[in-house]
Amino acid sequence: MRVSVIGCGYLGAVHAASMAKLGHTVVGVDVDAAKVALLAAGTAPFYEPGLPELLSEVGGEGRLTFATDMAAAAGATVHFLCVGTPQVHGEFRADLTYVEDAFAAVLPHLQPGDLVVGKSTVPVGTAETLAARLEGTGATLVWNPEFLREGFAVQDTLHPDRLVYGLPTDEDGVPTADGDRARKILDEVYAAPLADDTPLVVTDYATAQLVKVAANSFLATKISFINAMAELCEATGADVTRLADAIGYDDRIGRRFLNAGLGFGGGCLPKDIRAFMARAGELGVDQALSFLREVDAINMRRRVRMVDLAREVCDGSIVGRRVAVLGAAFKPDSDDIRDSPALSVAAQMQLQGAHVVVTDPQAIDNARKAWAGLAFADSVEGAVAGADVVLLATEWPEYRSLDPHALAPLVSRPAILDGRNVLDPRAWRAAGWTYRALGRP
């Protein structure tokens, strides 16, 4: 199958390489010439485990090319829309400019029988609008949301939990003849995962678009639920990690996504729940999602609470104190700093008068570019030198396994804030550290 992938960010670059791995002939198109040049040279423009290996494997086979000119997409049968939908500055709603631009750019290159397959996370109703614009071209729109997690993007794309096809349907919700044909083409595109018994949900446009934001809202709610419990634990001396273990044994609840700490960040969960609320408002059903406001508020409160904890261990003031922040990425195995809780807390402490030094194994260059006001170190040792307090903000494996005995002589006073509840309090206390965490006594 000849495939184009429009937009080569986290989603598109991984999708393009993965489609080539599945045996298709793929062209990735992006307006960013620097990104295209890197990808064309087989270099991943961001840190994602497994992607460099995949790019060199499929690049060597000659089935993956990249271009800035949309004309390169002409001749492909399936065109995946993989552009970003960031939050509009100062508002909750999603910015659809990139979707609009990508769609308009590919439109003149479509042939009858082609598929345009939306993968971006969009406000429900977007697919319907785009589909109407395909009328008369003979091309069909499909909505096929992507659920990949950064850090596991290659694995999630090649072996997804499920596939969702939103097809054109008649008034009974049954796929139209074009919908049926589109389904057959997509079945061919995803033949390998489907042969592995990947569950497939075939549905209408609206449901397919909602599945993505509903899933992310559920995950965000699960995290904020446990962080709300952490607030109760802080008020009562209970331990949120043991609470999560105990409720997580109920397999209706499940232990995953019950890790209390600094909360969620990244390019998806925060902006997706906000865009979902904005869309619900436009649809006149804002009450249905008013709980997401609370989910967002609980999440942001954790960051404030962490600054308070730092103040507590610094005897009431962080002014002039040295704070080492371990982690800049919004989560481990990523160099993505979008809405990173680590950097948000670092910036708040800096604003309140602390001298903050941030380190991260992968995200330090991105963080340096975006946060000119903060100081950075290339190593843990460099960051913690002379620190009054150390904050573990992103749970990279190398931070989880830090040796409290080895670190103690480097700091000014041994105080550790475990922002992700991943350290053993007893081991740190036994090594002479003041250990504080969110939701733990």
363 binds ligand UDX (CB under 6 A): no
Burial class (CB in 10 A: 0-12, 13-18, 19+), 174: exposed
Closer CB to ligand UDX, residue 203 or residue 216? 216
Using the rule CB under 6 A, give the single segment among 29-37, 141-149, 305-313, 382-390 that binds ligand UDX. Answer: 141-149
233 in catalytic set: no
Minimum distance from residue 258 beta carbon to ligand UDX (Å) = 6
Using the rule CB under 6 A, give the single segment among 42-50, 147-155, 188-196, 319-327 that binds ligand UDX. Answer: 147-155
Subset of 27-86 contacting ligand UDX (CB under 6 A): none
Number of residues that bind ligand UDX (CB under 6 A): 19
263 binds ligand UDX (CB under 6 A): yes
Q: Does the annotation flag 271 for ligand binding? A: yes
Q: Does the annotation flag 331 for ligand binding? A: yes
Minimum distance from residue 272 beta carbon to ligand UDX (Å) = 7
Minimum distance from residue 280 beta carbon to ligand UDX (Å) = 19
Q: Which residues pair with 28 in a beta bridge?
A: 5, 66
Closer CB to ligand UDX, residue 104 or residue 246? 246
Minimum distance from residue 130 beta carbon to ligand UDX (Å) = 20
Q: Which of 59, 261, 419, 439 contacts ligand UDX by CB under 6 A?
A: 261
| Distance, first Cα to last Cα, the chain | 57
- How far is CA 146 from its chain centroid? 11
419 binds ligand UDX (CB under 6 A): no
Question: Would you say how long the chain is, in residues?
Answer: 441
216 binds ligand UDX (CB under 6 A): yes
Q: Does the annotation flag 222 for ligand binding? A: no
265 binds ligand UDX (CB under 6 A): yes
Using the rule CB under 6 A, give the single segment among 232-240, 254-262, 373-381, 409-417 that binds ligand UDX. Answer: 254-262
403: number of Cβ within 10 Å: 9
Q: Which of 103, 330, 399, 435 contacts ligand UDX by CB under 6 A?
A: 330
Q: Which of 130, 148, 298, 411 contacts ligand UDX by CB under 6 A?
A: 148
Minimum distance from residue 331 beta carbon to ligand UDX (Å) = 4
Structure tokens at 137: 């071209």
127 binds ligand UDX (CB under 6 A): no
Q: Which residue among 8, 82, 268, 314 is the active-site one?
A: 268
Subset of 149-168 contacting ligand UDX (CB under 6 A): 149-150
Q: Does the annotation flag 85 for ligand binding? A: yes
Minimum distance from residue 11 beta carbon to ligand UDX (Å) = 8
Minimum distance from residue 295 beta carbon to ligand UDX (Å) = 12
> HEC profile for the chain?
CEEEEECCCHHHHHHHHHHHHCCCEEEEECCCHHHHHHHHCCCCCCCCCCHHHHHHHHHHCCCEEEECCHHHHCCCCEEEECCCCCECCCCCCECCHHHHHHHHHHHHHCCCCCEEEECCCCCCCHHHHHHHHHCCCCCEEEECCCCCCCCCHHHHHHCCCCEEEEECECCCCCECHHHHHHHHHHHHHCHHHHHCCCCEEEEEHHHHHHHHHHHHHHHHHHHHHHHHHHHHHHHHCCCHHHHHHHHHCCCCCCCCCCCCCCCCCCCCHHHHHHHHHHHHHHCCCHHHHHHHHHHHHHHHHHHHHHHHHHHHHCCCCCCCCEEEEECCCCCCCCCCCCCCHHHHHHHHHHHCCCEEEEECCCCHHHHHHHCCCCEECCCHHHHHCCCCEEEECCCCHHHHCCCHHHHHHHCCCCEEEECCCCCCHHHHHHCCCEEEECCCC
221 binds ligand UDX (CB under 6 A): no
Binding residues for NAD(+): 30, 35, 85, 121, 150, 271, 338
Which active-site residues does the annotation give? 268
Contact footprint for ligand UDX (CB under 6 A): 147-150, 216, 219, 223, 257-259, 261, 263-266, 268-269, 330-331
Residue positions in the annotated binding site for substrate? 147-150, 212, 257-261, 265, 331
Binding residues: 30, 35, 85, 121, 147-150, 212, 257-261, 265, 271, 331, 338
